[in-house]
Amino acid sequence: MVKSHTKRELKSWGKSMIIAIGIAAVVRTFFFSPYEVEGASMEPTLHNQERVFVNKWGDLKRGEIIIIKGEDENYVKRLIGLPGDTIEMENDQLVINGVLFDEPYLSENRKLAKRVSNLLTGDFGPIKVPKNQYFVMGDNRLYSMDSRNGLGFIQKAEIIGQSEFVFFPFSQIRRTD
């Protein structure tokens, strides 16, 4: 009698574990996943080796931090241009569809760039973002490979999702918007 009770208990635990693993796999595959930031292209917003949770669900919005699937590695960048947008950078001012776009997340980097008498972002454009593609830039524009200089336009299928919050290191837990 004790053996059959133990056997039932083990079976029950086994089923529970399989269900829990299945749910975790579905959530990670379709809804949320952790990613590690590599490099300095998003500093000071995100730092090298921080870990972020990425939401794979929802509409893409200008200004969000997104994860892009590359051939050999993933990239963390800020979504600047949506399909059909016309983007221009002049004298460190971003203009999208003829309207000046405020980028408060760049204030610290702009101060650093001015110390070395540089603009944070070199002039470019106007550039029209093609249909079903996106234009991205890193926050650390002096040291970022992005749509301006190597990544080019990003296909929607290459976008894994939007960064929601930093969860590691634990002392730095915060939202990334």
Residue 30: which pLDDT band, with cuts at 50, 70 and 90? low
User: What is the per-residue DSSP string for 68-82?
Assistant: EE-SSSEEEEEEEE-
Calpha distance 95→12 (Å, rounded): 60
Please name the helix (run of DSSP H) or strand (run of DSSP E) that holds residue 161, with its range, or none.
strand 159-168
Calpha distance 43→48 (Å, rounded): 8
Higher per-residue pLDDT: 73 or 130: 130
Residue with tokens 């500093």: 43
Domain at 35-175, CATH class: mainly beta
- The yes-or-no verdict on residue 37 having pLDDT over 80 is yes
The DSSP symbol for 89 reads E
Active site residues: 41, 77
Calpha distance 73→145 (Å, rounded): 13
What lies within 8 Å, CB to CB, of 75 at 6+ separation is 41, 67, 68, 136, 145, 146, 151
- The yes-or-no verdict on residue 27 having pLDDT over 60 is no
Supply the Cα-derived Rg of the chain in whole angstroms. Answer: 21
- The yes-or-no verdict on residue 58 having pLDDT over 70 is yes
> pLDDT for 124-150, tens place per residue?
999 999 999 999 999 999 889 999 998
Residue 7: which pLDDT band, with cuts at 50, 70 and 90? confident
Whole-angstrom CA distances from 9 to 17, 70, 128 are 12, 46, 63
Tokens in use for 25? 């796999």
What is the pLDDT, as a whole number, of residue 132? 94
- The yes-or-no verdict on residue 63 having pLDDT over 90 is yes
Total number of residues shown for the chain: 177
- The domain segmentation of the chain, as residue ranges, is 1-30, 35-175
What is the pLDDT, as a whole number, of residue 32? 64
Percent of the chain with pLDDT over 70: 92
